Structure 1
Amino acid sequence: MTQVQTLDRTGTDAVAKAWTHVRGNLRRSAGQRLFDQWLKPVVLVDGSTESAVRLGLPSSFMTQWVKNHYSERLLLEFRAVLPEVVSVTLETLSDEPQRVLKAEVEAPAMVPPPASAERPSFDPRFSFQRFVVDSTNRVAFNAAKAMAMPGVPQFSPLYLHAGTGQGKTHLMHAIGQTFLAANPGATAIYVTGERFMFEFVQALRSRDTHAFKTRLRSVDLLMIDDLQFIGGKDATQEEFFHTVNEFMSAGKRLVIAADRAPQALEGFEPRLAGRLGSGLVADIRPAELELRRAIVARKLEDMPAVDMPAEVVDLLAARITANVRELEGALNRLVAYANLSNETITVDFAVNTLGEVLRSAQRRITIDEIQRAVSSHFELKQLDLISERRAVAIARPRQIAMYLAKRLTTRSLPEIGRKFGGRDHSTVIHAVRRIEDLRAKDVEIDGAVRALMRTLEG
C-alpha cells in the first residue's frame, strides 16, 4: 500500500505538467463516462521522477483494471511529453489521510472537450520512415501510405492481416501520425477489437449507446486493431457492422487489422466478413531472411554506439524467424546485456546470451535437409552434391547448398566441408563468397536461394 504525499516541487514540475497533459488526453480518448469511472481517481504519487512515474488508485480492483487496460497507453502518453520516462507503475493507495498533488494547470485541462478533440498520441517509433519494406509487405505499406494522404481516400476500409508481430500495428500508428500531421483539424480513434467490445458493453449497461456511436462515427479516421477478438460476439459484431456501413457511406477512412483474412475469421457473420473484404485487403507475409537482416540493420542505425559484427546480425536474422517483434526483442536484449556486463558483442556472446531464445525461436535445420531441398530444386541426386563431379550443373547447386548450410545452421566450416564429401573448409569459404557475389548480379541464382530459404524455414 502506498501513502500519497506532496511531491518535491523542485524535481517534479515537469512530471506534474506532463501528468496534467496525459489526463487531458485520456479524457478525450476514453470519453467522459469511462474517464470518470476508472481514470479520474488516478493520482500522481510521491517519489515520481522524470524517468520513473508512480501513479496511485484508491482500491486494488481499480489498480488491476487500469493496469490491464491502460498501463501501456500511460507509458506511451508520458513518453510523448517526457521522452526520459522509462516506466510508469500503478499502485494501490493506503487508507490513511492523503495529500495529493494539485497542479495549477489541471482545472482548464479537465474541461470536457467536444467529441471533435479526438487526437490520440501515436507511438513516434512507428513511422513510415522506420518501416523496412520488401516484397512481403510492400502492398500493405503502400496501401497504408495512401490511406494517410490528404483528400478523398482511394479505398475504405483498408484491411491489414498478418500473424503476430509482423508490422500491422506499426503501420496503423504510422497512418494515424501521418494523417493527423497532414490534417491539423482532423480527428482519429485507435482502439483494439477487445476495447471496442468492452466500451460497447459498458454503453449497453449504462443505456448510453448513443454517445458510444456518436463518438466513434464522428471522427475522420477510425482504426480497429486485433479485430479477431470480437469473434462470436454477436451484439458487438452487429454494432461494428453498422459502424463499417456508416464509414463507407460517408466516404471516411476506416482501417482494420486482424490475424487472418476476412473470410477466415472464426465466429464472424458472413455479411460482416464480406463487408470487410469489400475494400482493400492487404496481407503481410512472414519476413524472409534478407528482410530480417535489413530490420536488424535499421534498428542498429538508432544505436550508433553499438558495434555489432555482421556475423552476429546474420545469426539473429537466420535463427529468429517467428516474427519481427521477437527479432527486435532479441536484439534489444543482446545490446542491453552487453552494456550491463561491459562485454564486446561476438557470436559466442550472442549464443550464450540468447541461448534459450535461439533454441526456441526456430526448429533446427540440418545439412541433410538442405542437401535434399537443393537436390529436389535442381532435379539432382543428393549423392551428386557430395561427389567429385565439377560440372557447372552440379558445382553451382553444391555451392548454394554450402552457402545455405553456413547461413542456416550453426555448423562450423570444417563440419560443413565434411558433409560435402570431405571437402576442405577453404572450399566452403569460396562457395559462400561465390554465391554472395552471384546473388548480387544474377537474378536466377538469387531467386533460387530465396525459394530454398522459404522452403527450409517452413
Structure 2
Amino acid sequence: MAEVCALNQGENSAVAKAWAHVRANLRRSAGQRLFDQWLKPVVLIESSDSDAVRLGLPSAFMTQWVKNHYSERLLLEFKAVLPSVRSVTLETLAEPGRRIAAPAAAAAAGPVADAPVAAPAERPAFDARFTFARFVVDSSNRVAFNAAAMVAEPGSPRFSPLYLHSGTGQGKTHLMHAIGHAFLEANPGATAIYMPAERFMFEFVQALRAKDTHAFKARLRGVDLLMIDDLQFIGGKDSTQQEFFHTVNEFMSSGKRLVIAADRAPQALEGFESRLAGRLGAGLVADIRAPELELRRAIVKRKLEDMPQVAMPGEVIELLAQRITANVRELEGALNRLVAYAQLNNEAITLDFATQTLGEVLRATQRRITIDEIQNAVSTHFEVKKIDLISERRAVAIARPRQIAMYLAKRLTTRSLPEIGRKFGNRDHSTVIHAVRRIEELRGKDVEIDGAVRKLMRQLEGA
C-alpha cells in the first residue's frame, strides 16, 4: 500500500481547519471521558481529494466502534463547516510503514498525544453515560441487569464469572461500564480493567514478542475486577485462548470478579476449546433479548431527557419505537440522526420530517407480517393443527393458542378487527377484542403465556 504522508504542522488547508472545528465540537458534545477513550485517537490523513475526508485510528476495533457510532455524525459535522465534503472514511492505521497525518489541526482543539501505530491507550475511566441509573430495564434484560448489579456490590461476589450474551447493540457494554462505575464507587481503593477481547489479544501477543508475559499476567490478574468484552473475536486464536483460560481459572480460584460479554452463549462460541466454554458457563450466564415495543419506547424517552432542547412529538417517538426493532444501538442511531438533521437544517421534528429523514432506515426495517404466518407459527409452537385455530372447538388447548394468534395479529399486522375475525373462522370483531384483552391480562400474571408470546413475537419479527 502506498505510504500515507503526514500533514505539515504549518499547513492551513481547509480540511485541516474543518477538522479542528469538528474535533472541538466532538469534545464538547461527547464529553471528556468518551472523547478521550474513542475520539481523541482519530487523526486526519492527508489526501489529494479535499472533498473526501480520510480519518485514521490505531486499531481495527476502535475503527469499527467509531464507524458504528459516529460515521454519520462526522460527515454531518464536516458538511456543516465545509459543504464541499461529500464523504468521510475511517481507516485502520496499524500497518507496517504507514504514517498518519501530524495532528496540527487537532492541536487547535487541544493537546494530543497520539501514537501512530500503537494500540489504544488503556481506558481506566468508564463512560459517564453508561450507569445503572441510565439503563432502561424490562423483562428482556432484567436478569442481566440484576446480575450485573450484584457483581458490583461490596463483599465477596456471589458468582464469578458473570457471562453476558446478546446480539449486537443490546446493552452488554453499557452494563459492563455500569459495573465499573458502581464497583469503584463502593470500593474506592479497588482496581478494575475493562478491555475488548481484541485488546487482550494484542497485548498478549506484544508480551510474547517482548518475552515479557509475566508483566502482562501480573497486571491483569492483579486487579479486583476484570471485564472482557466481545469475547467472540478471539475464536480460533489458540495461544490467546490458552492464556485467557488461565486468567479465568485464576479469577475463579481467587474469588475475584470477572465479567465477560459475547454475542452468543458459551457453548455456541465458534472456534473455542470445550474446556474454556465450560469454564465460562460455570458462573452465571445471562442473556439479553431483543427489546420489545415498550422497552424501545422507554429508551427513546430516556434519551430525549438528555436533549432538553429537542421537541419531539409523541407520534415521532412512536414511529421510532414501532419501526426500529433490531437492537438498541440502531434505535439510538436513528434518534441521533433525526436530531442532527433537524438541527443542521434548522427544522422542527415532525412526522413528515422524520419519515423523510429516516426513509432508508425505515424501508430497511419494514417487513409485512401476515396472519397466515402468525397462524403457522402459533400452530407449530403449541403443536395444534392450523385448521383448529379457525374451527369452532372451544377446548382450552385450542382456544388459548387461538386467542394468542388473534392477539399477535392485532399487535403485528395492520389488519382491522373485522379482518382478523374473518381470518379466524369468520368470527365477530368483538371476539377478537376479547381475545386481545384476555391475553394482555394473562401476560401480566402467567409466566408461561408471557414467555410464549415473547418467543413468537421475536420469531415473527425476526423472520
TM-score, scaled to structure 1: 0.68
Q: Which has the larger Rg? A: 1
Name the aligned partner's letter for residue 141 of structure 2.
Answer: N
Q: CA deviation at 1:287?
A: 2.3
Corresponding residue of 1:80: none
Stretches of structure 1 that go unaligned for 5 or more consecutive residues are 30-38, 43-53, 76-85, 108-117
Residues 141/94 of structure 1: CA separation in 2 closer, same or farther (3 Å cut): closer
Name the aligned partner's letter for residue 328 of structure 2.
Answer: V
Name the aligned partner's letter for residue 279 of structure 2.
Answer: R
Q: CA deviation at 1:336?
A: 3.2
- Measured in 2, the distance between the counterparts of 1:241 and 1:357 equals 41
- Measured in 2, the distance between the counterparts of 1:74 and 1:446 equals 38
Q: Which of 334-343 and 150-159 deviates more? A: 334-343
Name the aligned partner's letter for residue 287 of structure 1.
Answer: P
Quick check: 2:369–2:460 contact (8 Å CA) kept in 1? yes
Matches within 5 A, 1:24-423: 64=56, 66=58, 68=60, 70=62, 92-93=100-101, 120-304=124-308, 305-310=310-315, 312-339=316-343, 340=345, 342-346=347-351, 348-361=352-365, 363-370=367-374, 404-405=408-409, 407-409=411-413
Q: CA deviation at 1:143?
A: 1.0
Q: CA deviation at 1:249?
A: 2.4
Q: CA deviation at 1:122?
A: 1.3
Name the aligned partner's letter for residue 293 of structure 1.
Answer: R
Residues 374/248 of structure 1: CA separation in 2 closer, same or farther (3 Å cut): closer
Q: Deviations over 1:371-394 (max 9, x none)?
A: 555677696866986x9x9x9999
| Secondary structure of 2:132 counterpart | coil
Name the aligned partner's letter for residue 147 of structure 1.
Answer: V
- Measured in 1, the distance between the counterparts of 2:110 and 2:159 equals 46
Quick check: 1:140–1:160 contact (8 Å CA) kept in 2? yes
Residues 280/437 of structure 1: CA separation in 2 closer, same or farther (3 Å cut): closer
Quick check: 1:406–1:432 contact (8 Å CA) kept in 2? no
Residues 205/102 of structure 1: CA separation in 2 closer, same or farther (3 Å cut): farther
Quick check: 2:7–2:45 contact (8 Å CA) kept in 1? no
Q: CA deviation at 1:201?
A: 0.9
- Measured in 1, the distance between the counterparts of 2:348 and 2:356 equals 12
Residues 408/359 of structure 1: CA separation in 2 closer, same or farther (3 Å cut): farther
Residues 315/157 of structure 1: CA separation in 2 closer, same or farther (3 Å cut): same
Matches within 5 A, 1:416-435: 435=436
- Measured in 2, the distance between the counterparts of 1:132 and 1:396 equals 31
Q: What's the C-alpha RMSD, in Å, of the aligned pairs?
A: 5.0
Residues 106/264 of structure 1: CA separation in 2 closer, same or farther (3 Å cut): closer
Q: CA deviation at 1:356?
A: 2.5
Percent identity, aligned pairs only, is 65
Residues 270/418 of structure 1: CA separation in 2 closer, same or farther (3 Å cut): closer
Quick check: 1:367–1:419 contact (8 Å CA) kept in 2? yes
- Measured in 1, the distance between the counterparts of 2:255 and 2:427 equals 65
Q: CA deviation at 1:141?
A: 1.0
Q: CA deviation at 1:352?
A: 3.4
Residues 67/422 of structure 1: CA separation in 2 closer, same or farther (3 Å cut): same
Q: CA deviation at 1:447?
A: 6.9
- Measured in 2, the distance between the counterparts of 1:288 and 1:205 equals 47
Q: CA deviation at 1:225?
A: 0.6
Name the aligned partner's letter for residue 242 of structure 1.
Answer: H
Q: CA deviation at 1:101?
A: 6.6
Quick check: 1:220–1:253 contact (8 Å CA) kept in 2? yes
Q: CA deviation at 1:142?
A: 1.0
Q: CA deviation at 1:343?
A: 3.8
Q: Deviations over 1:158-217 (max 9, x none)?
A: 111112112111111111111112222221111111111111111111222222112212
